[in-house]
Chains A and B, each alone.
Chain A
Amino acid sequence: MLLDRRSRAQTRVRWELLRNLIRKDLKVKYKGSTLGFAWSLANPLLLMAVYYVVFQVILPGRIPNFAIYLMSGLLIWNAFSGSVSGACGSVVYNANLVKKVRFPLPVLPLSAVGFALVHFVLQLGVLFVVIAALQYNFFGLQLLLVFPAFVVALIFTTALSMLVAALNVRYRDTQHLLDVALLAWFWLNPIVYNMDLIRQHLHSYTWIYFLNPMATVAATFQRAIYKHPYATINKHRTLILADPGYTWYLEHLAIVGVPSLLLLWFSYRVFTRLQADFAEDL
């Protein structure tokens, strides 16, 4: 029945609405600065230049092409932490809307995820262009690993984003706890340091380290983009990535992907359960 369909349009998440909200966030953020969007793309490049100068020229490090190593893991982490942190405040920030208009509330955290996603895709494109320009050889089949890693990252990010968005309405210190947690969590991923370091400390317990979905995702991105699993450190040929092959990555993505899916289901349930009280708690 038409009326039922029209009712549902106001309570179900629609792609179009999501797209409009993401576009709004982009417009608001980059309004009034012609170079605005370009700046946000240039940001990781500047970071890359700084790391290049520091670790390649001033303090030659243990990881060759450190800037590329760093960026290949950092972009997806930034997308994750940007999503979760943005989603956390999304409902509270739109309190006026939530209290006055009936619309599908899950679009609020989802649009925060979409916002970070747009940046991620563009920054990744820029990264590819730059490392191609640096004549760094990264072409190959291993690049395909980006896709499963991206899917797992998206599931996990969406799940966590919805959860913290819902919790933050009731417990406003969620945002503060989350900021601290993200800061610590960053160091639980092999982004700045290499995997050899972790293996030296954890030995056979290294698998615990990869229960963190983002660690697995970041490691896969490194294998896909940075490509080279071995480096010569102190004259020893050392495995600096998680694994020299490909199947290890696919297996581990599946291992963290399944719980991520469960978390997504759980978070969605929590969100839809709590959303009825948002207007009251805000």
Chain B
Amino acid sequence: MPSDASPSSPAIPAGPPSPAGRAGPAGLAGPAGLAVAVPKAPGVTATPTTPSVQRARVPMGNPHATVISAVGVSKRFVAAQRKATSFKEWFVRRSSRGPSEDFWALRDIDVQIGQGQTVGLAGANGSGKSTLLKVLAGILRPSDGEVKVTGRVASLLELGAGFNGELSGRDNVYLNASLLGLSRREIDKMFDSIVDFAELAHKIDDEVKHYSSGQYVRLGFAVAVHVDPDVLLVDEVLAVGDEAFQLKCLAKIAEFRAQGRTILFVTHSLGLIEDMCDRILVLENGEIIFDGEPAAGTKVLRQHLGSLPSEGPVPHDLAPVRPTKLTFARDPGGSEQVQFDPGEPLTISVTLEAVEGAPEVVYLHAYVLGMHEEPIWLMETTGGIPLTPGTETVVDFTVPAVPPLLGAFAVSVHVSNAWTGEPVTIRRFDDLFGISGPQSGGLLSVDYEARPRV
């Protein structure tokens, strides 16, 4: 079943996901997600254990060595009211402890991550992915089980954590890198490169408190990626900064990947995981429910998220991004029509109106729905769609050849924040389009023969 969405203009990079091998369980096209221009390094394939060619910088002989190992890791958070937080309480309330109200953020996690793997950690809010990252980073102690991480760890849990506003950018770079385990000589060597990457050569001797939030974050990221980490742990930090810098960050991560460093990142953006990871870990209620291929893992996660929506999106007429109009035509910009024959091209155009507070970049899922609201196929934008508040953006989903279906179909448009993956709004349009397949009944026309067995 062809199910491609192709771009109407080069400005909206909604390229068709390759249909082969991406087809999902319900005949839905696999999402290609956020295809930002990340240069994939030559010679690196997306299988977990393939050694990369450019490992020269990483001082490690065995590419299959386990770098991150967690065995039976559990993390329990003790309910705050049960814990004495002062000596006074400790004396006063010793005997009057209530029953346990502990919360298990992680339960019995077993993960081995080999050198050079890029692993995405995904899951709904509160599924434990950030906790797992902190445990692996050595910041939280697991209540049970064992964690071992080999090599220098750079954790981007928050960019610029530990910067002191009173000090100059230069001093902060030295201090921060020193905290991460670098010697002065090593920092000296990298200093210019850090400043260049952060694009802050003109301000590096100013106090950090006079930096804009974007400059602050840029410097933080620049330090973290220049400390020559063996293991990079990233938590959602790429959701900050302007788009150009985000692309730069992603390119840097891709470069790390090519160099055979181990990367583990938490993100809500499933597109990013499909794009950049060799492997995905899906967490739910502190347990790993999927470990394997990103394409399969994101599907599992989407199903789980779909069945248990954590928070419903805002009604479409109140959301910061409003799908206002839906039209059908043969070609992008062509005259509207609602009846199509199988094999004809079809363009479904969605008009988005962005108001104040809209995310800078969104992605769309468009479900084509049958008469009982069952999804017939799914189309996703492959790249983020940049929006400007106060303007309208038209997104065209182009199907080169309409499948041989019979009936009238509706379209439901889901808008999500491209950086966080959070749903923004959903609109199911009432507009219908028809496909007049040659069959006399049934949804799909299939080649068949009917004859008595001889």
Kindly specify which of A17-25, A74-82, A133-141 makes contact with the partner chain: A17-25
Does B150 lie at the interface of the complex (its beta carbon under 8 Å from any beta carbon of A)? yes
Most chain A beta-carbon contacts within 10 A, residue among B60, B137, B178, B180: B178
Most chain A beta-carbon contacts within 10 A, residue among B137, B141, B179: B179
Q: A101 with B161: in contact, given A16-B184, A171-B86, A172-B86 (CB under 8 Å)?
A: yes
Say whether B137 contacts A97, CB under 8 Å.
no
Does A181 lie at the interface of the complex (its beta carbon under 8 Å from any beta carbon of B)? no
Specify which chain B residues have a CB less than 8 angstroms from the CB of A280 in the assembled complex: 77, 140-141
Specify which chain B residues have a CB less than 8 angstroms from the CB of A177 in the assembled complex: 87
Say whether A102 contacts B184, CB under 8 Å.
no
Which residue of chain B is the closest to A29 with respect to CB atoms?
A: B166
Binary interface encoding of chain A residues 186-210 relative to chain B, with 1 for a CB under 8 A from any of its CBs, else 0? 0000000000000000000000000
CA distance A21 to B171 in the complex (A): 11
Question: Which chain A residues numbered 34 to 65 have a C-beta less than 8 Å away from chain B?
Answer: none
SS of B interface (majority)? loop
Does A130 lie at the interface of the complex (its beta carbon under 8 Å from any beta carbon of B)? no
CA distance A277 to B142 in the complex (A): 9
Binary interface encoding of chain B residues 162-174 relative to chain A, with 1 for a CB under 8 A from any of its CBs, else 0? 1010110001001
Q: A17 with B178: in contact, given A27-B171, A100-B158, A277-B141 (CB under 8 Å)?
A: yes
CA distance A16 to B185 in the complex (A): 11
Specify which chain A residues have a CB less than 8 angstroms from the CB of B153 in the assembled complex: 7, 10, 102
Say whether A28 contacts B167, CB under 8 Å.
yes
Specify which chain B residues have a CB less than 8 angstroms from the CB of A96 in the assembled complex: 158, 161-162
Q: A6 with B180: in contact, given A20-B174, A171-B87 (CB under 8 Å)?
A: no
Say whether B151 contacts A3, CB under 8 Å.
yes
Does B307 lie at the interface of the complex (its beta carbon under 8 Å from any beta carbon of A)? no
Say whether B178 contacts A100, CB under 8 Å.
no
CA distance A20 to B164 in the complex (A): 13
CA distance A10 to B86 in the complex (A): 30
Say whether B149 contacts A174, CB under 8 Å.
no
CA distance A171 to B166 in the complex (A): 29
Say whether A3 contacts B175, CB under 8 Å.
no
Q: A3 with B139: in contact, given A16-B178, A173-B88, A279-B134 (CB under 8 Å)?
A: no
Does B230 lie at the interface of the complex (its beta carbon under 8 Å from any beta carbon of A)? yes
Which one of B85, B149, B166, B178 lies within 8 Å of A170 (CB-CB)?
Answer: B85
Which one of B140, B150, B158 lies within 8 Å of A3 (CB-CB)?
Answer: B150
Specify which chain B residues have a CB less than 8 angstroms from the CB of A20 in the assembled complex: 174-175, 178
Say whether B90 contacts A171, CB under 8 Å.
yes
Does B45 lie at the interface of the complex (its beta carbon under 8 Å from any beta carbon of A)? no
CA distance A74 to B222 in the complex (A): 46
Which one of A3, A102, A277 lies within 8 Å of B230 (CB-CB)?
Answer: A3
**Chain A nearest CB, measured from B78 CB (Å):** 9
What count of chain B residues pass the 8 Å CB interface test?
39
Which one of A4, A10, A277 lies within 8 Å of B181 (CB-CB)?
Answer: A10
User: What class of interface size applies to chain A in its complex with B?
Assistant: 35 or more
Does A103 lie at the interface of the complex (its beta carbon under 8 Å from any beta carbon of B)? yes
Specify which chain A residues have a CB less than 8 angstroms from the CB of B139 in the assembled complex: 98-102, 279
**Chain B nearest CB, measured from A253 CB (Å):** 32
Say whether A10 contacts B85, CB under 8 Å.
no
Which one of B86, B162, B164, B181 lies within 8 Å of A100 (CB-CB)?
Answer: B162
Say whether A6 contacts B141, CB under 8 Å.
no
Specify which chain B residues have a CB less than 8 angstroms from the CB of A173 in the assembled complex: 86-88
Does A276 lie at the interface of the complex (its beta carbon under 8 Å from any beta carbon of B)? yes
CA distance A160 to B388 in the complex (A): 58
Specify which chain B residues have a CB less than 8 angstroms from the CB of A2 in the assembled complex: 59-60
Which residue of chain B is the closest to A174 with respect to CB atoms?
A: B87
Which one of B90, B155, B158 lies within 8 Å of A102 (CB-CB)?
Answer: B155
**Chain B nearest CB, measured from A104 CB (Å):** 9
Most chain B beta-carbon contacts within 10 A, residue among A4, A28, A100: A100
Q: A101 with B167: in contact, given A279-B139, A279-B140 (CB under 8 Å)?
A: no
Which residue of chain A is the closest to B67 with respect to CB atoms?
A: A3
Which one of A28, A97, A171 lies within 8 Å of B161 (CB-CB)?
Answer: A97
Specify which chain A residues have a CB less than 8 angstroms from the CB of B175 in the assembled complex: 20-21, 24
CA distance A31 to B166 in the complex (A): 8
Say whether A17 contacts B86, CB under 8 Å.
no
Which residue of chain B is the closest to A20 with respect to CB atoms?
A: B178
Known: A7-B152, A20-B178. 15 other contacts (CB 8 A): A10-B180, A17-B178, A27-B171, A28-B167, A94-B162, A97-B161, A97-B162, A99-B157, A100-B162, A101-B180, A103-B181, A173-B88, A277-B141, A280-B77, A280-B141
Question: Can you pick out 28 interface pairs between chain A and chain B where the beta carbons lie within 8 Å of each other?
Answer: A3-B59, A4-B150, A6-B151, A6-B152, A7-B153, A9-B182, A10-B180, A10-B181, A11-B138, A16-B183, A17-B178, A20-B174, A20-B178, A24-B171, A94-B162, A96-B161, A97-B161, A100-B139, A101-B155, A101-B157, A101-B162, A101-B180, A102-B137, A102-B139, A102-B155, A173-B86, A173-B87, A279-B140
- Residues of B whose CB lies within 8 Å of any CB of A are 59-60, 77, 84-88, 90, 134, 137-141, 149-153, 155, 157-158, 161-162, 164, 166-167, 171, 174-175, 178-184, 230
- Residues of A whose CB lies within 8 Å of any CB of B are 2-4, 6-7, 9-11, 16-17, 20-21, 24, 27-28, 31, 94, 96-103, 170-174, 177, 276-277, 279-280
User: What are the nearest 7 A-B pairs in CB distance?
Assistant: A276-B141, A100-B161, A9-B181, A6-B152, A173-B86, A3-B151, A97-B162
